[in-house]
Structure 1
Amino acid sequence: MPRSTQRPSSSARGERTRAAIMRAATSVFARHGYQGGPLAAVATAADMTQPGVLHHFASKEHLLMAVLEERDRDGTRRLEAGTWNDGGGAALDALQELVDHNTTTPELVQMFTVLVGESVAADHPARPFFTDRYAHLRYRTTRAIQRGQDRGEFRTDADAAELASLVLAVMDGLQIQWLLCPEIDMSTRFATFVDMMKRFLAPDPPAGSGA
């Protein structure tokens, strides 16, 4: 009986420690990137020793991937909880909600932006992660636009895949400008872009409708 009550407590402590290490790594990677952020700095930020960090994460690379995957899971959860799966204009609105949320987490946005920039190097450990992530996001965004086309909400002569790449480019580009100049209102600018997209994708009124 004592053993069964002790295990959950030990597991909970381990999860709290892992979460603290990941928060520390997020801060270090946001400021210095993966290449410039030593594991020693993560350990110091987490008020631990390096062996203590390595007890929970086998290597600095394992820690990097855990941080990236958790950040990505959070973004996916937010999209799935909204109107993303509805496609069409509702999916664009879900992306707007994500951009609005991102304005409240500048450190996470900075970390992701810094690591994306680093990962263009062929030997960066996060390159496969970001390559797969962007391919997945392009596919999901393409399908969201296509669902709007399938039900007549969007015009059908627009290239959904091209527009999906454009949506992601605007999101990332606004994040960079916002990080460099916080006075830029990222939410308002993305809302303007979403409105432009909806106007561009609006189907032509039927002939003779008088619209």
Structure 2
Amino acid sequence: MSEPRTRLAADDRKAQIIEHATRMIAATGYQGFSMSALAEACGLTRAGVTHHVGSKQELLIEVLRGKERESSRESQVAIERAGRQDPREVLDLLMRRNIARPEIVRLFTVLAAESISTDHPAHDYFVDRIRRGARQLAPLFVDHSPDPEGMAIEILSFMDGIQLNWLRDPEIDIWARWTAFADRCLGARDG
């Protein structure tokens, strides 16, 4: 369904295009997404869309970076608030945030799977993403593991995997599965 064509400032139009693209890519994956369908949804021509966001590949990276910046800010605030005192608090917050935003989890899960192919435009982005995430979380685990970055990769891998299964089967109690895993890795929480 296209929006009525209205004149927007360039930044507002770009934000509108990225918002529509995010929803569409989350629903169909990058391979099933078309710039023509995006243009129609935004009430623009395809040339109008490319004027604001460039190519399909550039748009994909823009979508990913925008969502990552948003998530990274939230993660960094949680990490700074908890310090090294309570990594579980940080991880629980991250998992709750993801559970509350299944459309974003779906976007990243679909694109992560598609980008396994080295010729996918987001391949390098996802290789770097796990490395950045592990470096960001590693300081939380210095008191829990002789290999804090390795522990961060293991926990991120579990989170990605349980989220994939939850998207496939919403009957899975993702919070219960997360809690059981985190209890085994970091010790059971009091109360």
TM-score (structure 2 length as normaliser) = 0.85
For residues 16-55 of structure 1, give each alpha carbon's deviation from its aligned partner in whole angstroms, at most 9, with x where no partner exists. 2112111111122112211221111221222322111111
Distance 2:147 2:183 in 1: 18
Aligned counterpart, 1:203: none
Aligned counterpart, 1:185: 173
Query: Of residues 96, 100, 125 in structure 2, which corresponds to 1:100?
Result: 96
Query: Of residues 45, 50, 71 in structure 1, which corresponds to 2:46?
Result: 50
Aligned counterpart, 1:175: 163
Say whether the 8 Å CA contact 1:87–1:145 is kept in structure 2.
Answer: no
Query: Of residues 58, 73, 91 in structure 2, which corresponds to 1:77?
Result: 73
In the TM superposition, 1:124-163 aligns within 5 A as 124-146=120-142, 149=143, 154=144, 158-163=146-151
Give yes or no for the alignment of 1:59 onto 2:47. Answer: no
Q: What letter matches 2:70 in structure 1?
A: D
Query: Of residues 169, 184, 187 in structure 2, which corresponds to 1:196?
Result: 184
Give the 3-state SS of the residue equivalent to 2:29 in structure 1.
helix
Q: What letter matches 1:192 in structure 2?
A: A
For residue 133 of structure 1, report the CA deviation from its aligned partner.
1.0
TM-score (structure 1 length as normaliser) = 0.78
More deviation in 35-44 or 67-76? 35-44
Say whether the 8 Å CA contact 1:84–1:91 is kept in structure 2.
Answer: no
Distance 1:115 1:89 in 2: 34
Aligned counterpart, 1:19: 15
Q: What letter matches 1:65 in structure 2?
A: I
Query: Of residues 109, 113, 135 in structure 2, which corresponds to 1:113?
Result: 109
For residues 113-160 of structure 1, give each alpha carbon's deviation from its aligned partner in whole angstroms, at most 9, with x where no partner exists. 0100011101011011111111111222223211xx2xxxx3x5x432
Distance 1:136 1:85 in 2: 19
Say whether the 8 Å CA contact 2:21–2:38 is kept in structure 1.
Answer: yes
Give the 3-state SS of the residue equivalent to 1:48 in structure 2.
coil
For residue 166 of structure 1, report the CA deviation from its aligned partner.
1.2
Structure 1 runs of 4+ aligned residues shifted over 6 Å read: none
How many percent of aligned residue pairs carry the same amino acid?
A: 34
Q: Do the aligned partners of residues 44 and 188 (structure 1) sit closer, same or farther apart at CA in structure 2, a change above 3 Å counting?
A: farther
Structure 1 gaps, min length 5: 1-9, 201-211
